[in-house]
Amino acid sequence: MDLLQPIIKPYAWGSRDALARLQGRSTPSAGPEAELWMGAHPSGAAGTTRGGQATTLLDVVAEDPHRELGAACVREFGDRLPFLLKVLAAEQPLSIQVHPDREQARSAFAAQQAEGGGGPYADDWPKPELLHALSRFEVLAGFRDREEAAQLLENLGVDGLRPVIGLLRGGTDAQGLSEALRAVLERAPDERAPLVSAVVESSRRLARSANPHAAAYAALVRMARHHPDDLGLVASLLLNHRVLEPGTALFMPAGGLHAYVHGVGLELLANSDNVLRAGLTAKEVNVPELLRITNPAVRVPVVTPTGVAGPGPTWLYDCPAREFALYKTELDGSHGPLVPASGPRIAFCADGSARLSTGGTEPLRIAAGSSCFLPASDDDVLVEGRGTLFVAAVGLSPDKPSSLVQDSPSH
């Protein structure tokens, strides 16, 4: 067992109190703190100590992959911890973005490297994601129904949107949505500011109305405070708007267009940093590649937790990604085996504290905001405490129950 020193990513959209409060530090922090990385990605490998020496989880895994990851994990994913665990603290909206699947990532990264490196792909891995809301979490996730999207745009009464509405109503579902997105994002430069301004003003009016999609218009108005002339504001109305209550989880498959708007959440994803952005960001935007990767047919399902045996009430948030699975245990003072019992795992304490022990080692206590890595060689771990413990693990088990349900209602 290795206590982790997570990496804090100071992106501009982050909070100055959420992560600091979670970790018991003074607030406000010196600057925005957006993501807490607990994993072994080269862009932000968590620190740890082995044999009295400071190192990183990336180096620990590289030193002995079979011991750390286990034979089954190495056979499937090679010498790489296949998942990355994060806490997101979104004070401002994140970019509208999409992530590639495995083949897209491999081929695009290889082509990028053959051309000398540099480009939008950080690595050759896919990036499906599971988002578990720790607070109320506002998201834009997956495309709306084509007619519904057309109606939201039509409600605005903005003449510049007529061609987009025509594309939505004139094509098939996937084609109409793709062409509408392209028409928004590739708008002529001299038309962008007037169009966005008109959309924001109409949205402000509709946000105060009894319109059934008032919440989506209100979200657009709030996002406009940070990105006032961004075409991503118009594109946001093509996407489902949702507010996740704490404990709700959403699975984001490859190809699903999305943006996280506001809230604190635990994110479990394949061990990748591949992001293609369309707007609502000061970072690099790559509209042609985003349009190539985006699949309007991708659904973004809510994940219903499945109860499993554990040292307290325990649930599995399962999804189709083979790289990861998320377990949540409400520790109630009971003492019992950690779930899951095998494979490489990262345990994160969201509140309270937990005490983990295994034969031949000193017990390890993790408090709220703390995390630890458990290698595959630690297969008899006991846990006790009071609080909420999340465990990220590999999603290889063939007998995991399916836990996906239909999309939740959008606004």
What are the tens digits of pLDDT across the range 102-136? 999 999 999 999 999 889 999 999 999 999 999 99
pLDDT for residue 408: 41
- Whether residue 398 is predicted with pLDDT greater than 80 in this model: the reply is no
Examine residue 290 and state whether it is found in any structural domain, yes or no: no
Average pLDDT of the chain? 93
CA distance 325 to 104: 22
Residues 201, 250 within the same domain? no
Q: Is residue 7 assigned to a domain?
A: yes
User: In this predicted model, what pLDDT tens digit does every residue of 308-338 receive, in sequence order?
Assistant: 999 999 999 989 999 999 999 999 998 899 9
Q: For residue 181, what are the CA distances in angstroms to 58, 98, 310?
A: 39, 13, 45
pLDDT value, residue 331: 97
Residue 261 lies in a domain: yes
Domain match, 134 and 207 both: no
Those residues whose C-beta lies under 8 Å from the C-beta of residue 153, and which sit 6 or more positions away, are: 161, 164, 165, 168, 237
Task: Tell me the residue range of the domain where 384 lies.
Answer: 306-393
> How many CA atoms lie within 13 Å of 70's alpha carbon, on the beta-carbon side?
18
Same domain membership, residue 208 and residue 314: no
State the pLDDT confidence band at 404, using cuts at 50, 70 and 90.
Answer: very low
pLDDT tens digits for 36-65? 999 999 999 999 999 899 999 999 999 999
Indicate whether 132 and 156 sit together in one domain. Answer: no
- Of 21, 144, 242, 277, the catalytic one is 277
For residue 407, is pLDDT > 50? Answer: no
Q: What is the mean predicted confidence (pLDDT) over 395-408?
A: 48
Enumerate residues 6+ apart whose C-beta is below 8 A from 171.
146, 177, 179
Reported as a pLDDT band with limits 50, 70 and 90, residue 82 is very high
Question: Can you tell me the mean pLDDT for 90-113?
Answer: 96
162, 131: one domain: no
Q: Does residue 356 share a domain with residue 260? A: no
348 secondary structure, DSSP code = E
Look up 182 and say whether it is catalytic.
no
Q: Which residues contact 209 (CB under 8 A, 6 or more apart)?
A: none
List, in sequence order, the alpha helices (H) in 208-334.
214-224, 232-235, 287-293
pLDDT of 118 reads 86
pLDDT in tens, 146-173: 999 999 999 999 999 999 999 999 988 8
Rounded Cα distance, 246 and 87, in Å: 14
pLDDT at residue 405 tops 80:
no
Same domain, 350 and 261: no
| Predicted TM-score (pTM) of this structure | 0.93
pLDDT at 1 over 70: yes
Give the SS3 label for residue 169.
helix
* pLDDT more than 90, % of the chain: 90
Q: Are residues 324 and 368 in the same domain?
A: yes
> What pLDDT was estimated at residue 410?
52
pLDDT of residue 306 exceeding 70, the answer is yes
φ, ψ for residue 59, nearest 5 deg: -70, -35
Task: With a cut of 70, say whether residue 203 has pLDDT above it.
Answer: yes
pLDDT (average), residues 191-197? 97
Q: What is the CATH number of the domain that holds 188?
A: 1.10.441
Residue 19 CA, chain-centre distance (Å), reads 16
Q: With 70 as the cut, is the pLDDT of residue 403 above it?
A: no
In the chain, the number of structural domains is 3
Do residue 312 and residue 208 come from a single domain? no
- 254 and 135 together in one domain: yes
